Amino acid sequence: MKVYAGIDLHSTNSVLAVIDEAGQPQHEKRYPNELPVIVAALKPYRDQLVGVVVESTYNWYWLVDGLMAADFPVHLAHAAAIPQYAGLKHGDDFTDARHLANLLRLGILPEGYIYPPAQRGLRDLLRRRRLLVREQTRQCLALQSLWTRHTGHQLRDVPHVTLQELSNRFDDPHVRESARVMWTLWQVLHREIQSLERGARKEMKHSPDLAHLQSTPGIGDILGQTILLETGSIGRFPHVGDYASYCRCVDSKRVSNGKTKGRGNAKSGNRHLAWAYIEAANYAMRFSPPIKSWFDRKKRRCHRMVALKAVAHKLARACYFILREHTDFDLKRAFG
């Protein structure tokens, strides 16, 4: 007899439900978030188990990796795409776990991608870099604003201003201390970002796919590494439109009889890839005259942000074929 398991994962505990081929519960219990305990609960069903569905939440790494290491067939549920069950008067964690198992039993489970653990750490490190860069920019702007408020002049060269210059510029000790804190945070963040980038560059310098991506206008070391790591295996996208949608470059409106009837989930996809391609589009327009000309023609017919998103869409489609065919960027193919 085949059985199916669903795990409703929470921050401190997990609810395990096992059902049979008819959808009847065989086992239901709440367990603490301890891998040996959950593995022991699944072991009696190992031979009959078709799969274990884990709900995709912020803390799934330990559970999915641990179950896969224990040779269980694991499926990661795409929480945003799971259809809600109708007709239930009462729902709780146990019904949620059974629902996950039932979706697998019926063959309609929306699955998320289980990123290879060996590369996941570097991908998450580059995500952390983006947050650090944002905070560094915030401190830089705050220091420039403070300088302008108290001196009437602009501070343009923040990287080369010294702590002594800041101390000599302000008479008020409280303003001096505020400037010192901002300057110190900026310096610390700058050093950490530089160290992080050196490590990532060293890790991926021999990647041929990265070299191909960097042939694209607007894509350098950091954006190339981000796109490569966030994309993962390009084979999981059957068509270029699937990849463009994953990069949030596709409109989410719903159309019926030629009329817009509503909007879909605009946030479905990878926000880090969406950011990377918008950044690449901005750089591409700055350094590639043909792409800038294409953007200008597009902008004359629509809003600037729509035209910018169109450039990002073109770059995403180009990078799909670059990664699939292991070739360099072709300007005529992308913008011809």
| Distance, CA of 30 to CA of 48 (rounded, Å) | 21
pLDDT of res. 82 = 81
pLDDT of res. 294 = 95
pLDDT of res. 257 = 64
Across 301-330, average pLDDT: 95
Q: Which of 88-92, 169-173, 292-296, 318-322 has the lowest mean pLDDT?
A: 88-92
pLDDT of res. 139 = 95
pLDDT of res. 263 = 62
Q: What is the pLDDT of residues 22-42, one digit of tens each?
A: 999 999 999 999 999 999 999
Reported confidence tier of residue 88, pLDDT bands at 50, 70, 90? low
This prediction's pTM = 0.87
Across 267-286, average pLDDT: 93
Reported confidence tier of residue 79, pLDDT bands at 50, 70, 90? confident
Token readout for 288 is 């590639």
Reported confidence tier of residue 81, pLDDT bands at 50, 70, 90? confident
| Distance, CA of 61 to CA of 66 (rounded, Å) | 8
Examine the pLDDT at 187 and tell me if it is beyond 80.
Answer: yes
Across 248-265, average pLDDT: 71
Across 158-182, average pLDDT: 90
Across 115-139, average pLDDT: 94
Examine the pLDDT at 72 and tell me if it is beyond 80.
Answer: yes
What's the chain look like in SS3?
CCEEEEEEECCCEEEEEEEECCCCEEEEEEEECCHHHHHHHHHHHCCCEEEEEEECCCCCHHHHHHHHHCCCCEEEECHHHCCCCCCCCCCCHHHHHHHHHHHHHHCCCCECCCCCHHHHHHHHHHHHHHHHHHHHHHHHHHHHHHHHHHHCCCCCCHHHCCHHHHHHHCCCHHHHHHHHHHHHHHHHHHHHHHHHHHHHHHHHCCCHHHHHHCCCCCCCHHHHHHHHHHHCCHHHCCCHHHHHHHCCCCCCEEEECCEEEEECCCCCCCHHHHHHHHHHHHHHHHHCHHHHHHHHHHHCCCCHHHHHHHHHHHHHHHHHHHHHHCCCCCHHHHHC
Reported confidence tier of residue 206, pLDDT bands at 50, 70, 90? confident
Q: Is the separation of the CB atoms in 225 and 219 below 8 Å? A: no
Reported confidence tier of residue 174, pLDDT bands at 50, 70, 90? very high
Q: What is the pLDDT of residues 140-161, one digit of tens each?
A: 999 999 999 998 988 888 888 8
pLDDT of res. 281 = 97
Reported confidence tier of residue 221, pLDDT bands at 50, 70, 90? very high
Examine the pLDDT at 254 and tell me if it is beyond 80.
Answer: no
Across 230-238, average pLDDT: 94
